[in-house]
Amino acid sequence: MKKRNRTAASIFLLALICISILSGCNGKMTPRKMMIAMSKNLKKVESFSNTVKADIKMEDVVRVTEVSMDMTMENTLKPKAGHAKGTASVNFRGIKLSSDMEIYQVQEGDEYVTYSSMDGNWSREASKKEKTSGLSLDSGMFQKMGEATDSFHIAEETVEVNKKECYQMYGEVTGAEIMGLLGSEMLHAYGLVEIPDEEAIMKLAIPITFDIYKEEILPARIIVDMTDVLNNLYDDYGETTDVNDFTVELGFTEYNSVGEIVVPEEVKGLLN
């Protein structure tokens, strides 16, 4: 009888080990594990397609500033290059404008060059230093967020993004990390928004939501909501500005499917 009980116990223990192996040796997925896995997977990414949507509305006693942006982008990481196209609508001090935008960011020799167009009017800007414009996805950035994710939460229910099942993870990161994600130009709405103290923003805690493809463990969507944070910052500096909305949504539609990004000769010809 004792031998039979020991055999049954051994079989039960073996079954538990098998279940553990099938479930994954690392156990339950945690925010830190997810961020590490995502950073590791991003190192294998050579290109990606994404979208950027921004909605900003700020008002004070004498003026209202509204910015709405909807862009589609293609990016390669080796070599680093980007192409963005979309529309931007602006209501600034009573003047309402809507423009078609297009941007190329490429490396030419030892220079980082940006070709940008507003309603077909092209300009060229070159720099020895690479700009942080939000056109690139830095795999190391998610690794740097590792400590912050200890206070993150993973939603009990998955969500659907681009018809794929996704984990949802949310919490707060520093303004410095947001700056690395969005770039300074996006934070300032391309010169239309005046931030009281950019250094102060770097230390602030800003809400962020990550939707992560369950199968690939890669970013599907990132939502940054700075509405309350900026309201408090303006109040701290005695400003009368009310921030009604300041949200930016990055959507990632495809990975490793973008070909070489080349500035058309027609565009270069317009600048010669």
**What pLDDT shows up at residue 179?**
80
Determine the residue type at 102: E
Nearest-angstrom CA–CA distance, 33 and 146 = 9
Residue labelled with tokens 């099938």: 22
Determine the residue type at 270: L
Domains of the chain: which residue ranges?
A: 2-270
**What pLDDT shows up at residue 30?**
86
Nearest-angstrom CA–CA distance, 85 and 201 = 29
Task: State the number of CA atoms in the 13 A half-sphere of 84 facing the CB.
Answer: 26
Ranges under pLDDT 70 in the chain: 1-27, 61-62, 131-148, 190-192
Among 244, 173, 225, 229, smallest CA distance to 196 is for 229
Strand-pairing partners, residue 225, are: 247
Nearest-angstrom CA–CA distance, 67 and 194 = 13
Q: For the chain, how big is the Rg over CA atoms in Å?
A: 23
123 φ/ψ sector (left φ>0, alpha ψ -120 to 50, else beta)? beta
Query: pLDDT tens for residues 69-110?
Result: 999 999 998 888 999 999 989 887 778 889 999 999 999 999
**What pLDDT shows up at residue 128?**
81
CATH classification of 2-270, choosing from 2.50.20.20, 2.170.270.10, 3.30.70.260, 3.40.50.10470?
2.50.20.20
Rounded (5°) CA angle 207-131-250: 35
pTM recorded for the entire structure? 0.82
Chain centroid offset of residue 67 CA: 18
